[in-house]
A and B are shown apart, each in its own frame.
Chain A
Amino acid sequence: MSDKNHLVKPGEYRPIDLLAVAASREVRDGDVIFAGTGLPMLAIMLAQNTHAPKATCIYEAGTIDGKPIDLPTSVGDARCGYQASIISGLIETFFGQLHCGYIDTAFLGGAEIDQYGNVNTTVIGDYNAPEKRLTGSGGNPDINGLARRTVFIMVQEKRRFKENVDYITSPGWRVRKWPGGEYVHKKEVYGKYFRGGPEAVITNMGVFRFDENGVMYLDTVHPGFTVEQVKDNVSFDLNISRVRGETELPTKREIELLYNVVDPEGIFLT
């Protein structure tokens, strides 16, 4: 058994596996988590099967602390409700759980992110004459805005890591105060509802965190990549002075759980 806790060797896992494992390590035991569809689900279910059995997961469509035995393909899926403590709806999740302050950690995705952790899932280019229209916000900004901490899971590409996103769909540490639109610290806009903000960004190349001023820095690099390679895939001047080293590899047990227990059907781990 003990050798299942051994780390796998580089080449014995796929990039998406490390993404899921690194994200799962951000889950704290006992956390109340609000998660989006896809990799966030894998990360939480993996954490619940390893170091965080008491983590609770809320999906915005209405299920609270479900124990799915088959991986949901979306947060509205019938599978989310298996053995849940409560099955409810959107009033409960958005107001009764999120707005009133129960949520410790948000696990979300995004198309673009900037150095302040602002995320864009709405348009590429000018909103009034966009190059590309994306899905829109969904619950991303609501959940991220009112959770105590947020972990974003994203694809690492130069065009996705911007100095400033084209459209702030979801709030980072430096946001806009309306109606004027001046850029201020999130605290100034959220007031008594300020509870925190983006804490980590996990990509296929590394783990990023935010400093005291709410600016992104590189924390660890995934094995097989160099700091320079990560820097080349970010379009702002990334702070690499705080790099702690390499991201810890997955264990054999984590990989087995991912493929045999969490996603045996190959839905997200295709």
Chain B
Amino acid sequence: MERITIKDAVSLINNGDMVSFSGFTIWRRPMAIVYEMVRQQKRNLHIADVNGGTHSEILVGAGCVGIWESCWSGHELYGKLGEMVADRHLNGGMIIEDYSHGHMVARLLAGAWGLPFMPSAMSLGTDILNPDYDGFNKAGLRDGSHPSIPSKKYDIISDPFFGSGDILLLPAINPDWAIVYASQAGEEGTIRVNAQTYLDAELIKCAEKVIVVAEEIVPETYLRQDPKHNIAAGYAIDYLVELPWAAHPTGSQGYYDVDGDFIKAFYQASKAQSTFDKWADEWIFGLADHQAYLEKLGITRLEKLRANNALGYSKRTKRGTR
């Protein structure tokens, strides 16, 4: 495990690499790394995500993504649709491969456990399995010559052991990079998250290389006093960056809430490429680094988002109309 700056970490990601992100929709996304990826103008990335969110909408809008494999894109309550994925689906410019959420879990789990595929009965009978809608096949990429693209979207076999009927097989995902936001990392790289673990532990295991951006680096002895909350050992982590507020505008349980107003404003901007570009100029290209981003957000805004110590989320944000 190597301590590294965010700029150096992101410079290791090559155009065309396959990447997966930690978190869940608008929670615990490694946003500071996403912004830096946009700043360094990564191109033709292959995103294979358990689910999409604000992070992937930004990368797609900024022209960083060539392939998007996932199950959902949006911003939860703060933006109904993933407008950028939707735009590429309607107007081209990106290969889209739709699986279900459970399928993506199964595929990343297979990758994490070193298996070529995972059996599942999830989302049988749906058009997700319609061969006419196979994005990689349409693009002529299922010829076996692309290491990250399986030769079939799925297979259905008959249970060879108990004769229980048909079962779906889903191909493993082993991305080049897992890009992970963690609540805390130890000095030797032990990783802790504060709440729902989502698929973060498996993501770390399935990837060739792992970059973790941690809200804070803490003594290993502190994390080892209570090891049941840790999700990965240091030897699984390749690069570690410490950066407070690195998940903003997504939420980080115990540290800060989702910045709903920020995501709402982004969602509005994402409805057209021209407004997206203006947004990206203001919030990414116009800012040198994460420090400048935090300064632009300002202390008042960040203090409102700061989590209540007992509850793990903020009681000071106005979330509704009352």
A residues engaging B (CB < 8 A)? 37-38, 60-63, 70, 73-82, 87-91, 94-95, 98-99, 122-123, 127-128, 130-142, 145-146, 167-171, 175-179, 181, 186, 189-193, 263-268, 270
Contact = CB atoms under 8 A, between A and B. Distances in A.
A77 B27 contact: yes
Nearest to A81: B195
B198 A89 contact: yes
A263 B27 contact: no
**A132, A135, A171, A176 interface centre (most CB from chain B within 10 Å):** A135
A142 B101 contact: yes
Contacts of B249: none
The 9 closest A-B pairs by CB, nearest first: A175-B125, A191-B165, A142-B102, A62-B196, A266-B320, A89-B197, A133-B86, A266-B322, A76-B24
Contact of B125 (A131, A137, A168, A265): A168
B251 interface: yes
17 contacts: A61-B196, A76-B27, A78-B254, A90-B199, A133-B86, A135-B80, A136-B73, A136-B85, A137-B100, A140-B100, A141-B102, A145-B122, A181-B131, A190-B121, A191-B166, A192-B164, A266-B322
B258 A178 contact: no
A37 B74 CA distance: 12
A169 B126 contact: yes
B124 interface: yes
Interface of B: 23-27, 50-52, 70-74, 76-78, 80-82, 85-87, 89-90, 98-103, 105-106, 109, 120-133, 138, 156, 164-166, 195-202, 251, 253-254, 257-258, 260, 307, 311-313, 315, 318-322
B198 A146 contact: no
Nearest to A181: B130
B70 to A, nearest CB: 7
A192 B165 contact: yes
Contacts of A190: 121, 124-125
Most chain A CB atoms below 10 A, which of B125, B260, B318: B125
Contact of A62 (B77, B123, B124, B198): B198
A150 B311 CA distance: 32
A122 B27 contact: no
A78 B156 CA distance: 37
B130 A127 contact: yes
Contacts of B257: 78
A70 B311 CA distance: 10
Contacts of B99: 137
Q: Would you call the interface of chain B mostly helix, strand, loop, or mixed?
A: loop
Nearest to B314: A78
B102 A130 contact: no
A128 B138 CA distance: 10
A136 B72 contact: yes
Contacts of B101: 60, 90, 94, 137-140, 142
A119 to B, nearest CB: 9
Contacts of B132: 127-128
Contact of A80 (B123, B124, B128, B196): B196
A99 B81 contact: no
A74 B50 CA distance: 16
Contacts of B25: 74, 76
A230 to B, nearest CB: 25
A76 B128 contact: no
Contact of B133 (A128, A140, A171): A128
Contacts of A191: 164-166
Given A78-B195, A81-B195, A99-B120, A141 B100 contact: yes
B131 A178 contact: yes
A123 B133 CA distance: 12
A169 B319 contact: no
A189 B105 CA distance: 21
A169 B128 CA distance: 7
B258 A138 contact: no
Contact of B72 (A70, A137, A145, A175): A137
B231 to A, nearest CB: 9
B24 A168 contact: no
B109 A74 contact: no
Nearest to B112: A91
